[in-house]
């Protein structure tokens, strides 16, 4: 969960990937996976602020929880965002 409320610093995030392929019946591999988090300085101005990215080509097995990385939310403070992926097939 991203912090919010009346902090005056909203977070904007995006999740993108180029393609996904099945390595086998229980394994998925999103290629070109990228998670981007932007900490804005104003409520309406997404252009200014800090930006952090996690880029990877993970291979995830069904039921596995994979930690892809950590992003420091507020510089100089103890506030981190951990990005964890899991796969469930239907």
DSSP state of 87: B
Q: Flag whether 3 is in a domain.
A: no
Q: How many domains does the chain have?
A: 1
Q: Flag whether 59 is in a domain.
A: yes
The pLDDT assigned to 73 comes to 78
The pLDDT assigned to 18 comes to 95
Q: pLDDT (tens digit, 9 = 90+) per residue, 12-68?
A: 889 999 999 998 889 999 999 999 998 776 555 556 678 899 999 999 999 999 999
DSSP state of 48: S
Question: d(Cα 53, Cα 37) in Å, to the nearest integer?
Answer: 6
Question: d(Cα 31, Cα 53) in Å, to the nearest integer?
Answer: 15
The pLDDT assigned to 82 comes to 92
Could you tell me which residue, 2 or 61, shows the higher pLDDT?
Answer: 61
Domain boundaries, position 37: 11-86
With 60 as the cut, is the pLDDT of residue 87 above it?
A: yes
């Amino acid at each position: 969960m991203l912090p919010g409320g009346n902090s005056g610093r909203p977070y904007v995030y995006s999740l993108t990937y180029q393609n996904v392929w099945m390595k086998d019946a229980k394994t998925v591999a999103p290629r070109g996976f990228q998670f981007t988090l932007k900490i804005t300085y104003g409520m309406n101005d997404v252009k200014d602020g800090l930006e952090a990215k996690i880029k990877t080509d993970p291979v995830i097995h069904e039921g596995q929880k994979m930690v892809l990385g950590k992003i420091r939310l507020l510089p100089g403070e103890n506030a981190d965002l951990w990005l964890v992926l899991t796969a469930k097939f239907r």
